[in-house]
Amino acid sequence: MILQLSDIHKSFGDVEVLTGVNLTVHGGEVVALVGENGAGKSTLTRIISGAHAPDHGTISIDGVPVDLKVPQDAMNHGIQVIYQEFLHNIFPHLSVAENLFTLDGQAEFGRFFVHKRRMIERARDLMDRIGLTADPAAPAESLSVAELQMLEIAKSMGHSSRMLILDEPTAALDEQESERLFEQIEALRAAGLCIIYISHRLEEVFRICDRVVVLRNGTVTLEGPTAALSEREVVTAMVGKTIDDFYPKGHHATDDVVLTVTDAGSSEHFDGVNLTVRAGEVLGIGGVLGCGKGSVLRALFGLLPLSRGSVTIGGRSVTLSTPRRAIAEGIAYVTPDRQGEGLCMQQSVTANIALASLDRFSPTGIVESRRERAGAEGLIDSLRIRTASPEAEVGRLSGGNQQKVLFGRWILTSPRVLLMEEPTRGVDVGAKAEIYRIINEQAAAGVAIILVSSDLPELVAMSDRVAVMRQGRIVAELSGTELTQQNVLEFALESAT
């Protein structure tokens, strides 16, 4: 299969999103589509998938122009998209096999009644093709996130896919699960599929992709084989400038211990955890998915109960039974799910920033909007949040700017401890650099920081120390020359000697 896009234009109202984009993808090739949030990647993907029609330009498959008016047209040509929010396509209480055939199960396995045995046999064939070893009769909710992603790929294979578009496929995966995904991509490439790979993680792009296409402001600014390009060139093409200090980590740790966690446990999540974090220090926590690292942060913010152990802040014992108590003790938490847990998407930027500090703006019990807006505007400026207005809906902002709004909310509380779980998930390279700058500034201000990240380069570069967790326990603490990506991964996978 050869997919060719020629001179594609697309506007929404007066906003021109794509301006003359040309793209060709061949069978047996993995092409990276990269760019900042708002560069036009999503719009281009929706045009290929039939969700949007181009205003101008042509789409050809194997040299023949095609008209992809609706997603079903694209599917009929073998084009499948696995979006970053693929979990919304999963029916957790249905079996793995039933999830594989939700669109056409009746047609393939019986007109009036589904022949489950035949469905399970067919599901097992598809799962074997991509190395998914789960029980096809088990409920989908029993699978890990990585296995669910494999399930989505198997589902696309069930529709005789000729082209696969993967949108941020490793955003919810740890290092080990990402490796499994890369193996499957290699197998699909060897089988002759066209693959478009969308990711903000450039180390992945250079590892598995044959070519890179960079979009900026709806225009292709760079295209070429990965072997002939450098990450620096790609970043410059994405943001329009050179980012010389991508990880601006300083060394601000003092001898002042702010947070101490002693022999802490939370039923079925983690046990025997001991941590200390000093003012100005960034303590990283690493490990594979399900090791308990995120649960430690949620317990420190009062979202999970501690079944044992103690926590002290500034040498004083505290009880963190609820988020309200945690906030009162000076703890802030940047959730990994900014849309589901972090932000009120239909509320304004101002309202979202002020949400955890309403007492400051309501001395009489009624929020004073002028004071609230003044507090938000100061952070909009200092954090460089790009918004049309402080009153604009936060849901209209790019992912990176939404994440900075979330940071702004907690910075406004003047925290003593800042907990961050996957703080750069789903944001572009320019926004990542801005978030790293914010982290560094908070450390320089004396905030004690705990960083949980599945992005190993980020974890190692931005942390003073890294505690590695495995099966709910801390198995190593690395610093200095011992703090390397390889060492973190070895301890996380039980391969350390």
Interhelix angle 175-190/145-157, nearest 10 degrees: 10
pTM above 0.75, yes or no: no
Beta bridge partners of 16: 11
Q: Phi first, then psi: what are they for 332, rounded to 5°?
A: -120, 150
pLDDT tens track for 464-497: 999 999 999 999 999 999 999 889 988 998 754 4
For residues 496 and 478, the answer to whether their CB atoms sit within 8 Å is no
pLDDT at 497 (0 to 100): 42
pLDDT averaged over the chain?
88
C-alpha span between 245 and 441 (Å, rounded): 14
Tell me the two tokens of residue 329.
């003790």
Q: Are 448 and 281 in contact (CB under 8 A)?
A: yes
Residue 321 in tokens: 């039974």
State the Cα–Cα distance between residues 497 and 479, nearest whole angstrom: 17
**Tens of each residue's pLDDT in the chain, 497 residues:** 899 999 999 998 877 899 999 999 999 999 999 988 778 998 999 999 999 999 999 999 999 999 999 998 998 999 988 887 666 778 888 898 888 887 554 445 555 566 788 888 888 888 887 777 889 899 988 887 777 877 887 777 666 689 999 988 887 677 777 887 888 889 889 989 999 999 888 889 999 999 999 999 899 999 999 999 998 899 889 888 776 677 888 889 999 999 999 999 998 899 999 999 999 999 999 998 789 999 999 999 999 999 999 999 999 999 999 999 999 999 999 998 888 889 999 999 999 999 998 888 877 778 778 888 888 999 999 999 989 899 999 998 888 899 999 999 999 999 999 999 999 987 888 888 899 999 999 999 999 999 999 888 899 999 999 999 999 999 999 999 999 988 998 899 875 44
Torsion of CA 140, 420, 400, 349, to 10 degrees: 100
The helix (run of H) or strand (run of E) holding residue 258 is strand 257-266
CA 98 to chain centre: 27
Q: How far apart are CA 214 and CA 228, in angstroms?
A: 14
Identify the H or E element spanning 10. strand 2-12
For 341, 409, 424, the CA distances from 337, given in Å and listed in that order, are: 6, 15, 11
Q: Within its chain, how far is the Cα of 66 from the centroid?
A: 33
**Residue 50 region by backbone torsions, left for phi larger than 0, else alpha for psi between -120 and 50, else beta:** left
Question: How does strand 308-313 pair with strand 257-266?
Answer: antiparallel
The token pair at 6 is 């020629």
What CA–CA distance (Å, rounded) separates 432 from 235?
Answer: 12
- Which string of b and e fits 375-401 if b means at least 16 CB within 10 Å? bbeebbeebebebeebeebbeebbbbb
Q: Are 377 and 390 spatial neighbours (Cβ–Cβ below 8 Å)?
A: yes
What whole-number percentage of the chain has pLDDT above 90? 57
d(CA 11, CA 136): 43
d(CA 293, CA 421): 9
Q: How far apart are CA 350 and CA 373, in angstroms?
A: 6
What is the rounded CA–CA span in Å between residue 194 and residue 164?
6
Q: Report long-range pairs for 484-487 (Cβ below 8 Å, ≥24 apart).
A: 484/460, 485/456, 485/457, 485/460
Domains of the chain and any CATH numbers: 2-239 (3.40.50.300), 257-492 (3.40.50.300)
